[in-house]
Amino acid sequence: MASATGIPDGAYVDTEPESLGQRETEPLLGRPGDAAQEEGVPMFRNLVLGTGILAQLGIVLLVLLIWASVLTKPLILFSGHPLAQSLAILTLTQSILTLQPTHTAEQKRIGQRLHASLNLIAFFLLVTGVTIIEYNKFRSHGPHFHSLHGYLGVIASILLLVQYFVGFTMWATPALYGGEHKAKSVWKYHRYSGYFIFLFLLATVVSAVETDYNKNVLKLKLWAVAILAVLVVLGVFPRIQKQKLGFKAPTLA
């Protein structure tokens, strides 16, 4: 998951020579081209390409479940926390699904700009959610790190800050890594960490069902949240292009 607040003119873009880019089309599950963006097809089709429809189904239902649970209860300041965080996860999912199928230089260039823009929106949503929870804690003198969800949330925030910083600097200031070529070599690890953080964020969402607020107010069921989170994973991860993670490209006939 590359992360940035935008791409300045002339900033480094992760692209390969066209002949190589065209070989970045083999997903983890499926045949080459099964989850690759076709030439001339609008970028928004990437959102439901291949198993992407499963991810959309899972994340949309998860957000609807959370919002319905929150909005059908008396609204308080704390209500903004699950609303903002669930929207952030929704936005991050769209960010990933948009960029995954790209494989040509032009597709990557457009995809990365959309990816960065969506990540910026998600960042502000996450900051909003964290601000609400922290303000509520200080105002009510509530204990910090009161649950597993609290610990995971703090860890996730730190991981995201690092991910955003690396993503931005690789795009905007590749000189920090010794030039564009060396910056490009970091992308593989940035993608690995991005997918790990995405899994971590989903686990953080699932852990929220064990908090006092959920048990006493929202009453979301663990099985429902877990199933929808797994559905998101089943939609996102099979579409990962092997070559973008450093695996050998398929042999061309």
C-beta of residue 203 within 8 angstroms of C-beta of residue 151: no
> What digits encode the pLDDT tens for the residues 212-246?
999 999 999 999 999 999 999 999 999 988 777 77
- For 5-123, strand residue ranges (E) read none
- For position 30, what pLDDT does the model report? 63
What's the rounded Cα separation, in Å, for the pair 27 and 243?
9
> What digits encode the pLDDT tens for the residues 53-112?
999 999 999 999 999 999 999 999 999 999 999 999 999 999 999 999 888 888 888 888
> What digits encode the pLDDT tens for the residues 107-122?
888 888 899 899 999 9
Long-range contact set of residues 174-180: C-beta below 8 Å, sequence gap at least 24: 174/12, 180/12
What's the angle, vertex CA 173, arms to CA 167 and CA 177, rounded to 5? Answer: 80
Nearest residue to 171 (alpha-carbon basis) of 16, 17, 11? 11
For the entire predicted model, the pTM comes to 0.85
